[in-house]
Structure 1
Amino acid sequence: MTHLVQQLVIHGLTLEGQRFRPSDWAERLAGVMSQFRPAGSFGGHITYSPYVVPVVLDEVRCVVVDKRLRELEPLAWKFVCDFATDNHLQVTERDLEPPSPAE
């Protein structure tokens, strides 16, 4: 049985449809959250957390937040949710099947 990966997507568009500024907001937010990682993982180099990743979807900067962050660190989850709310950003949720392991 495969478990769906539940994600929150914070879009770089305000509720009014305007692009959110500054243009590197997604990278900044993901950078602040880079310390939150799965137990036992080590980020030897400066890398993003696998739970908070900046992406571009349909030509809009976004941050994809894995909902497992909520259990790992509730205050970090609250921080990203409050960021979206405080800045009036569009948010969607999605469920993805995890990638199949390489054969």
Structure 2
Amino acid sequence: MVSSTAKEVFIQGITRDGRTFRPSDWAERLAGVMSSFRPGGPQPGSHLGYSPWCIPTTLNGVKCVVVNRELRDYEPMAWDFCINFAKDNDLQVAEACLLPELPRQG
């Protein structure tokens, strides 16, 4: 269950019983489907990049999709699609905040 105050939800490519979710490019596929949902709406060529509200990434070796709460405010059905994707595939979901990377020194 996702709380109504979550800023970001991490859909992790690990099932509740600990198996790695397949296919291996699931995160990119899910984020690709959500590419047109973005601030200002879809623009010409917006399908060529990911939405800032649905970003595929890898954390600690686990594929994830970070879904921002703003997607829910903009298009509740798109948010529900992502959350239901996680439920339907028995994927682990965590609420967190994605921090920007610090510049490397040295």
> Which bracket does the TM-score occupy, shorter chain normalised?
0.7 to 0.9
* Compared CA separation, residues 63 and 43, structure 1 to 2 (3 A): farther
Report what 2:3 is aligned to: none
The equivalent of 2:16 in structure 1 is: 15
Unaligned residue ranges in structure 1 (runs of 5+): none
Aligned twin of 1:62: 64
The total of aligned residue pairs comes to: 95
Structure 2 residue 77 is the aligned partner of structure 1 residue 75: yes
Unaligned runs of 5+ in 2: 1-5, 102-106
The 2-side partners of 1:97 and 1:25 are apart by: 23
Indicate the structure whose relative CO is greater, using CA pairs within 8 Å and at least 6 residues apart: 1
Q: RMSD across aligned C-alpha pairs, in angstroms?
A: 2.1
1:53 is aligned, of 55, 62, 70, to 55
SS, match of residue 68 in structure 1: helix
Matches within 5 A, 1:20-39: 20-39=21-40
Q: How far apart in 2 are the matches of 1:43 and 1:17? A: 40
> Which structure has greater strand proportion?
1
